Amino acid sequence: METSLGLAGITALSELLKPPGSGDSDGDEDKPVSRTAQQGPGSIGPPKKPPTAAKDSTPATKKNSKDIWDVEEVQEGAEYDDVDDPRPQPEYEIIFKQKVATEDMFLGMGNKTNATSSCEDIVVKITLPDTKYSEVTLDVNDKYLSCATPNYKLGLHLPHPVDSKNGQAKWDAANTLLTVTMPMKREYDFLNF
């Protein structure tokens, strides 16, 4: 296939292949730009000072040169985790429980929904096979539940903060089931009830 380029085609091709900044051009990109045209959204307000090596006015925490991480980097409740414990984790189930009255159930007059935001309690059911009640050690904090027996160990980070002082635990010896009921204390619970 043979194509012939005329003088106009060759001139257009040479303009396309010409390196930028060479030759005479009347394009807008080659004209000098004024100072006001160079400003953008970052130019609004007083000019920012470059960072200096001088000490800031904020109090700095003293960091030990042997620290591997900062205190802010450690997950809350990590002090309860024991990686080297060989005991297996028992089966457990987390259930959200709400107090429902007749006006909520039949009349539809309450503002409760089936969402977890309308629940008042967290129920944790822990199955501990071949365990006696006297062997169970239970510790509940506001955001962490720890249950230990000679054969099992459960360390559970709770999905919501709870009132650890007003919870209750029940032991079902026939099913070797420990049921721990804890009232939730969330910051904005007053909006949902």
Tokens of 165: 């002082």
Domain spans of the chain, in order of start: 82-187
Percent of the chain whose pLDDT exceeds 90: 28
Residue 63 CA from chain centroid, whole number: 26
Query: Is 23 a residue whose pLDDT tops 80?
Result: no
User: Is residue 25 pLDDT above 60, yes or no?
Assistant: no
Structural tokens at position 177: 């089931």
pLDDT at position 186 is 76
CATH entry, 82-187, from 3.40.1260.10, 2.40.10.10, 2.60.40.790, 3.40.50.720: 2.60.40.790
pLDDT tens, residue by residue, 97-150: 888 777 767 766 767 777 777 788 999 999 999 999 999 999 999 889 999 999
C-alpha to C-alpha distance for 181 and 1, rounded to whole angstroms: 85
